Structure 1
Amino acid sequence: MLRLPPAYRSYHVFQPRKLSKETLKSLPTHELLQTLGFVRQSQSGLVNWLPMGLRSLTKIENIIRRRMNNDGKAMEVQLSTLSPKSLWETTGRWSNTELFKLKDAKKASYCLTPTCEEDITALMKNYISSYKDLPLLVYQITKKYRDELRPRGGLLRGREFLMKDAYSFATSKEEAIGIFERVNSVYAKIFTDLKIPFLSAWADSGDIGGDLSKEYHYIHPSGEDTLMKCEDCGMSSNVEKCESFPIENGEHLGDVDVQYTLSKDHGTLVCLYYPRGRQLNWNLALESLDHDLDSSIREKSNKDILEIFQESNEDVMFAKVLRVMDCRLNSRSNFPDFPLKQYLKNNFGKIDDVSLVDAIENEVCGSCNEGHLKAFKTIEVGHTFHLGTKYSKLLEAKFTDRENKSSIIEMGCFGIGVSRLLGAIGEITRDERGFRWPTSVAPYTVSVCVAPGNESLSHQIKEQLDMSFEDDVMYSFNDKMGLGARINYSHAIGIPICVIAGPKNWPNVELEIRGNNYGNESWKQEYETAKDTLKWQITGDKHIVPIESLRKVISIIARDL
């Protein structure tokens, strides 16, 4: 288990000289992280981590490691940042435009790893030979690289980022899905430990492959993703996987759009009709046709699709045409003209009453057919996938099964954006005075603020707190900061509990609580029980305690922050 970096006095070199209320209120989150000394951007999408940010990052890593090791039964590895071109050519991903590519002195080509399905499969197949070696779950926490054309949101979408990526290896699909479910249980614990409310949602696997995936999100208006949640059954999924129905079928009387596509054998022209102004949902179209569509041509224009159809069939007059009607349409909707001039009506098929478009708020949930959907803007911070054999088959990762036959390994992959988490939590918790980190992420749980010249009080407080909080207490401030400036800086960087001491009230000290309450406020019950014994007073939003009760009171309050 990693410990936090020690709280050296020299940390104050990264503290800002001045902080205005307008700065704290108006700066975008990424700029505020820089102003307060968490990170420093060197180029667009690239940051240098400063001691304050590194402490928060280490706390997140510690939570992930503890859960992955203890609950996930995973083994930690660390792969090379450089990945050879040959692996990515084998899986067909070398053409990805987001890869950073480079050559060594011998002209061999590599990329900086954006993810490690290729490398981990190539590594682990050296150590897996029998079903007795499986199942396995391995993970790493390392930097990843993606050549984003437009990095934005600071830590939310950078070109270099810290990621926890895990990979599972199993003998069968059933065993792989069992690991998938176990890791999702671990993820729920990780995000609960971080204390920020989260949503998990079924998701589209996208280009990474596989047929089962789940996302983890924080709800926030600045998010780039949209989640739909049913107010009745509680189903949550992203827009790509959400099926919805109109309040009344056939309610659309306006213009109709059509997207042409082809069956896998190119023998059937499939016409997907849906209301103009809505977004066609490819996943729903696939499901409505039992996945008998050629996904490789989904980005082509209608003109190109028709040309491929005509080239694939000697006489299109005798070819099959299937019309798929979104359930929002009716016979009075304004349909576009059919493009083929010669055809046999007997060769036409039709599917009605399916949903083909992205869900929108207030439509009926497709899972329960009862509740209405509510839309949330969210920030994605984690994603889990059941991959199947997409990578293991291409890279020939095999094992000998119980019947002594050679079989392909079933895989899964599981990611958490570690540096992205810090940016997301900062965005969610900040207010007009700065950040309000939970104790799980705050660079320090406690700060001790005394006026310059009263350092002896800090030493006495240190003797009390170090027995319980070790390096999780911040004592060091710039010498030029007065008491008020130190308190404001502590609040700005989001330290949950600020201890304020001065000779006037000593040996009593004052606690200002900066952190949000993420628990059930159990501290209030303990306060009622222990307030007389601990001589604990509450005046407004301030707590007054004698120095000998300080450690106990902070321990009680911090549990809910």
Structure 2
Amino acid sequence: MVAPMAARIWRCRTHSRPSQLRAYSRVSEHPRQRLSKFWTPTGLLQTEPKDHNAPNQKGGLQKDDSASLLARAGYLSQVQSGIFHMLPLGLRVQNKLETLIDKHMDSIGAAKTSLSSITTEALWKKSGRYSTNSELLRIKDRRKSGFLLSPTHEEEITTLVAASLKSYKDLPIRLYQIGRKYRDERRPRNGLLRAKEFMMKDLYTFDYTHETALETYKAVRTAYNNLFRELGIPFIVAEADSGNMGGKLSHEYHFVHPSGEDKIWICDQCEYVANEELAEHKTEARPFTDVMVFTAISADHKTRISIHVGVDQPKDSYDSIHWDHLLNPHALRKAAENLNIDLATGLEPDTLRKLLENTTSTIDIYDIRLQNHIPEATHSPATRDILAIEPGDACPKCENGHLSQVPGIEVGHTFHLGTRYSEPLNAVVATPNNTEKVPVHMGCHGIGVSRLISAVAAMTYDERGLNWPPGIAPYEVVVIPGSGIESKDGEEVYDSFKGAGLDVVLDDRADKNLGWKLKDADLIGYPVIVVLGKTWKSEAGGKVEVQCRRLGEKKLVEKDEVAVTVADLLRRCGKWENPKWVSSS
């Protein structure tokens, strides 16, 4: 009876996650997985009543953030600010995420590699990024040579590929790695979301032409969408600014959550989604009572930029240096680019005042609503809608939509780099007619693996603990024998999952009672809990209680039906009813 049911479950489960199941289906292939043999350091945190992280009087957990909850549940341990050890439970989640990523990178023909975490200052100076990055962790060897702990690997991978390229026939190339990255984070916070050391998946693509590079970019985006859909967490894809990475085309992948540091603008009628650094709104009339002139400076610090905008309060109430909160930085940069000027950003007021003293020229930028207020003597003014976006502003992409802002946790980013790195690092190929060599076109596509662990935890935890989606849970199912249940009975239920393709663990810790184990299971966040309690010991016997917190279901099940029932619960609890604005592209 068990074998045919198990076969049905295997077909159902492998249809959705074959690569993960092969890596973690151990019930029939290995000795039983037992918590008595697995280190889960959660006991002290649950039993000390004076600890502010202990269970509250109602038996649940006090309100907590996901970062500290991961530590309390035994997934990680903080060493110093921004530095963490990944413990056995956390490593299982990380490994499952890597397996999921490997599957979707394989779908686009990407080959996996592993680059050194140490790179050279000389290489970063060659690409022009050494002096512009304040978060580089710099180290010296015994010869005082300059090295860096890599925050990213564009320079290294481009140099590596350039050495092997001869002809356009060698392309395309798609290489990725999953490894540790480093940054000298000034203010680490939110646990794994902003740390000094982190795990990252970065994919680098190399193509012969701009057109084929865009096709590759499209294929990567499709793979990312499929990956996040399979993960089962709602996500949005936002148009984004490329920043220090270079290039003009990039998209960010976000989970919408109150702890998110990014601000994302979304339309209530169409699929327009953009990071605040790139967002725009439809130009509409907006009343103003006074005209204010804000001051900025060009990136080369030679040109003063006078920004004219209508304000709804007397201009004396504004700081002439601080314009960020009233103006749209993206629109302002575009206006400056129309005059062949790069706008300097991120300057402190005192620094800006000193730099303005040495400017040699001045340009004017006017908000488009001030077209009738531009002096005739002003030459070549740039006019554009440069006002900051406000909730309720009209969407720039559709007729009736309005914009609202949501906080996002960035978990992935795709960049079309063009020749930003191939030109300075001489990654060139011969053309079909062999008359010249041209730089290859590149893309860089990242997923924050350790960020993703923390972000998923933030999206799914509740007052009882963590609550993982099945695809990356440390174990999908925990079997918990109650007090007085013989160990062979727990093993019998565990063994009933043979051939089902499920990742199951047996909580056989003899020194813990049933109540403690159930609280521990909720804290750790197994998707499904199978309990051998009173109904197992009753005269009818043979029934177990199956619980799924995410679905809010709890049912009594015959032993021979438990594997089928659990497989169905895992299938259903791996799905999430997505809000309207979640990307479907």
**Interval of TM-score (by shorter of Structure 1 and Structure 2):** 0.7 to 0.9
* Identity level (%): 32
5 Å-filtered alignment, 1:500-539, equals: 500-502=531-533, 503-505=536-538, 506-516=541-551
- 2:506 corresponding residue in structure 1: 475
Q: CA deviation at 1:481?
A: 1.6
Q: CA deviation at 1:357?
A: 3.3
- 1:542 corresponding residue in structure 2: 554
Find the residue that maps to 1:426 and give its secondary structure. Answer: helix
- 1:367 corresponding residue in structure 2: 397
Q: Does 1:411 align with 2:445?
A: no
Q: CA deviation at 1:43?
A: 0.9
- 1:21 corresponding residue in structure 2: 55
Two-structure CA RMSD over aligned residues (Å): 2.7
Letter in 1 for 2:487: E
Find the residue that maps to 1:124 and give its secondary structure. Answer: helix
Deviates more, 1:486-495 or 1:476-485: 476-485
Find the residue that maps to 1:555 and give its secondary structure. Answer: helix
- The 1:272–1:183 alpha-carbon spacing in structure 2 relative to 1, beyond 3 Å, is farther
- 1:251 corresponding residue in structure 2: 287
Higher relative contact order, structure no. (Cα contacts within 8 Å, ≥ 6 residues apart): 2
Q: State how far apart, in whole Å, the 2-side matches of 1:347 and 1:288 are.
A: 16
- 1:522 corresponding residue in structure 2: none
- 2:492 corresponding residue in structure 1: 460
| C-alpha contact 1:15 1:478 (8 A) present in aligned 2 | no
Find the residue that maps to 2:492 and give its secondary structure. Answer: helix
Letter in 2 for 1:256: M
- 2:15 corresponding residue in structure 1: none
5 Å-filtered alignment, 1:343-492, equals: 345-352=376-383, 354-368=384-398, 370-404=400-434, 405-453=436-484, 454-469=486-501, 472-492=503-523
Letter in 1 for 2:570: A
Q: State how far apart, in whole Å, the 1-side matches of 2:177 and 2:389 are.
A: 36
- 2:528 corresponding residue in structure 1: 497
Q: State how far apart, in whole Å, the 2-side matches of 1:24 and 1:265 are.
A: 54
Find the residue that maps to 1:434 and give its secondary structure. Answer: coil
Q: CA deviation at 1:272?
A: 4.6
Q: CA deviation at 1:289?
A: 5.2
Q: CA deviation at 1:80?
A: 0.3
5 Å-filtered alignment, 1:234-249, equals: 234-245=271-282, 248-249=284-285
5 Å-filtered alignment, 1:57-456, equals: 57-69=94-106, 71-95=107-131, 96-245=133-282, 248-254=284-290, 256-261=292-297, 271-273=307-309, 275=311, 278-288=325-335, 290-295=337-342, 297-298=344-345, 303=353, 307-310=357-360, 321-327=363-369, 345-352=376-383, 354-368=384-398, 370-404=400-434, 405-453=436-484, 454-456=486-488
Q: CA deviation at 1:280?
A: 2.8
| C-alpha contact 1:260 1:305 (8 A) present in aligned 2 | no
Q: CA deviation at 1:377?
A: 0.8
Q: State how far apart, in whole Å, the 2-side matches of 1:185 and 1:209 are.
A: 22
| C-alpha contact 2:40 2:88 (8 A) present in aligned 1 | no
Letter in 2 for 1:16: G
Find the residue that maps to 1:465 and give its secondary structure. Answer: coil
- 2:13 corresponding residue in structure 1: none
| C-alpha contact 1:11 1:476 (8 A) present in aligned 2 | no
- The 1:376–1:510 alpha-carbon spacing in structure 2 relative to 1, beyond 3 Å, is same
- 1:521 corresponding residue in structure 2: none
| C-alpha contact 1:227 1:377 (8 A) present in aligned 2 | yes
Letter in 1 for 2:292: V
Q: CA deviation at 1:279?
A: 3.7
- The 1:281–1:331 alpha-carbon spacing in structure 2 relative to 1, beyond 3 Å, is same
- The 1:85–1:305 alpha-carbon spacing in structure 2 relative to 1, beyond 3 Å, is closer
- 1:53-82 C-alpha deviation (Å, 9 max, x unpaired): 11111111111110111x221010100010
* Contiguous gaps of at least 5 residues in structure 1: 313-319, 336-343, 518-540
Q: Does 1:557 align with 2:556?
A: no
Number of aligned residue pairs: give it: 515
Deviates more, 1:44-53 or 1:286-295: 286-295
| C-alpha contact 1:274 1:280 (8 A) present in aligned 2 | no
Q: CA deviation at 1:175?
A: 1.2
Q: State how far apart, in whole Å, the 2-side matches of 1:465 and 1:239 are.
A: 49
